[in-house]
A and B are shown apart, each in its own frame.
Chain A
Amino acid sequence: MQRSIILPVATRYLMPLMLVFSIFLLLRGHNEVGGGFVGGLVAASALMLYAISTSPSALWKLLPLDPRFIAAIGLFISLFSGFIPLFYGKPFMTGMWIETPLPVLGKIGTPTLFDVGVYVLVIGVVVWILLEFAEDE
Chain B
Amino acid sequence: MTALSITILAGFLIAILAPFLTRLMKHRAAFVLALYPLAVVMQLLALQRGSFTAPSIQFPWVPSMGLWMTFTLDGLGFLMGMLIAGIGTLVILYGGEYLRDDPYLERFFLWVIIFMASMLGVVTSGNALVLFVFWELTSISSFFLIGYKFEYESARAAAWQALLVTGAGGLAMLAGLVLLGQITGSFEINQWLQNPKLVQESSLAPAAFILILLGAMTKSAQFPFHFWLPNAMEAPTPVSAYLHSATMVKAGVYLLARLFPVLGGLALWNQVVPWVGLLTLVGGALLALGQTDLKKLLAYTTVSSLGGMVFLLGLGTPLAVKTAMLFLLTHALYKGTLFLVAGGVDHAAGSRDIRKLGKLAKLMPFTTLAAGLAALSMAGIPPLIGFISKEYVYESTLYYSNLPFILTGLAVLANVANVAVAGWVGIRPFWQQPEQKDEDLHLHKESVWLWIPPLVLAITGLFMGVFSQGAAQTWVAAATSSVLQEISKVKFSLWHGITPMLILSIVTLIIGVVVYLTSRTLIPGLAAFWKKLSFVGPNLFYSRSMRAFLSVAGWQTKILQSGYLRYYIITIIVTAVTLAVVTLATRYGRLPNPQWTQPRFYDVIFIVIIITSAILVTRAVSRLATITLLGAIGFSIAILFLLYSGPDLAMVQFAVETLTVILFVLVIYQLPKYTKSNYPIQANVLNIIVSVAGGVMMAVLMLLTSAVPSNSTLAPYFMENSLELAKGRNVVNVILVDFRGLDTLGEITVLMIAAIGVFALLGLKKGSKSGGNR
Which of A's residues lie within 8 Å of B, judged by CB? 25, 29-38, 41-42, 44-45, 48-49, 51-52, 56-57, 60, 66, 68, 71-72, 74-75, 78-79, 82, 92-93, 95, 97, 107, 109, 111-112, 114-115, 117-118, 121-122, 124-126, 128-130, 132-137
Contact = CB atoms under 8 A, between A and B. Distances in A.
B603 interface: no
Contacts of B763: 132
A27 to B, nearest CB: 11
Nearest to B670: A135
Contacts of A95: 725-727, 738, 741
A73 B741 CA distance: 18
A30 B734 contact: yes
Given A36-B737, A41-B652, A133-B666, A122 B751 contact: yes
Contacts of A137: 669
Given A38-B652, A82-B741, A135-B670, A130 B659 contact: yes
A79 B669 contact: no
B773 A60 contact: yes
Contacts of B769: 135
Interface in B577-596: none
Nearest to A91: B64
A34 B726 contact: no
Contacts of B663: 130, 133
Nearest to B737: A111
Contacts of B662: 45, 48-49, 52, 130
8 contacts: A31-B730, A56-B666, A71-B755, A78-B748, A93-B742, A95-B726, A111-B728, A121-B748
Interface string B721-757: 0000111111011101110011011001101101100
B648 interface: yes
A106 B727 CA distance: 11
A52 B666 contact: yes
A111 B730 CA distance: 13
Top 6 A-B residue pairs of the complex, sorted by shortest distance between their CB atoms: A41-B655, A30-B728, A31-B729, A111-B737, A132-B762, A33-B647
Given A57-B773, A95-B738, A111-B741, A128 B727 contact: no
A118 B738 CA distance: 13
Given A44-B659, A95-B727, 10 more contacts: A35-B732, A78-B745, A93-B742, A111-B741, A112-B737, A115-B733, A115-B737, A128-B758, A129-B758, A135-B770
B667 interface: yes
A71 B753 CA distance: 10
Given A35-B736, A38-B651, A114 B752 contact: no
Determine chain B's interface SS by DSSP, over half rule. Answer: helix
A101 B663 CA distance: 40
Interface centre among B670, B725, B730 (most CB of A within 10 A): B730
A23 B744 CA distance: 20
B741 A93 contact: yes
B572 interface: no
Given A38-B655, A41-B659, A132-B763, A107 B758 contact: no
A71 B755 CA distance: 9
Which of B652, B732, B748, B766 has the most chain A CB atoms inside 10 A of its CB? B748
B656 interface: yes
B669 A32 contact: no
B20 interface: no
A132 B734 contact: no
A34 B728 CA distance: 12
B557 to A, nearest CB: 25
Interface residues of B, number: 46
A136 to B, nearest CB: 7
Contacts of A30: 727-730, 733-734, 737
Contacts of B730: 29-35
Contacts of A97: 727
A132 B759 contact: yes
Nearest to A74: B748
B558 interface: no
A52 B667 CA distance: 11
A29 B759 contact: no
A132 B758 contact: yes
B774 interface: yes
A128 B755 contact: yes
B658 interface: yes
B665 interface: yes
A51 B659 CA distance: 13
B651 A68 contact: no
B727 A118 contact: no
Nearest to B662: A48
B465 to A, nearest CB: 53
Contacts of A29: 730, 733, 737
B646 to A, nearest CB: 10
B634 to A, nearest CB: 14
A48 B759 CA distance: 17
Contacts of B749: 75
A118 B659 contact: no
A110 to B, nearest CB: 9
Interface centre among A49, A92, A128, A132 (most CB of B within 10 A): A132
Contacts of A35: 648, 730, 732-733, 736-737
A52 B529 CA distance: 73
Nearest to A29: B733
A126 to B, nearest CB: 6
Contacts of A107: 727
Given A32-B729, A60-B774, A118-B744, A41 B754 contact: no
B748 A75 contact: yes
Nearest to A120: B748
Contacts of A71: 752, 755
A42 B647 CA distance: 15
Nearest to B736: A35
Q: Which of B648, B754, B766 has most chain A Cβ within 10 Å?
A: B648
A25 to B, nearest CB: 8
* Residue of A37, A112, A117 contacting most chain B CB atoms (<10 Å): A37
B639 to A, nearest CB: 15
A34 to B, nearest CB: 7
Interface centre among B648, B656, B745, B762 (most CB of A within 10 A): B745
A86 to B, nearest CB: 12
B742 A125 contact: no
B137 to A, nearest CB: 23
Interface in B672-730: 725-730
A41 B670 CA distance: 24
B761 to A, nearest CB: 9
A34 B655 CA distance: 12
Contacts of B666: 48, 51-52, 56, 130, 133-134
Contacts of B734: 30, 111
Contacts of A114: 737-738, 741, 744-745
A72 B752 contact: yes
A97 B770 CA distance: 45
A75 B755 CA distance: 13
Contacts of A82: 741-742, 745
A48 B752 contact: no
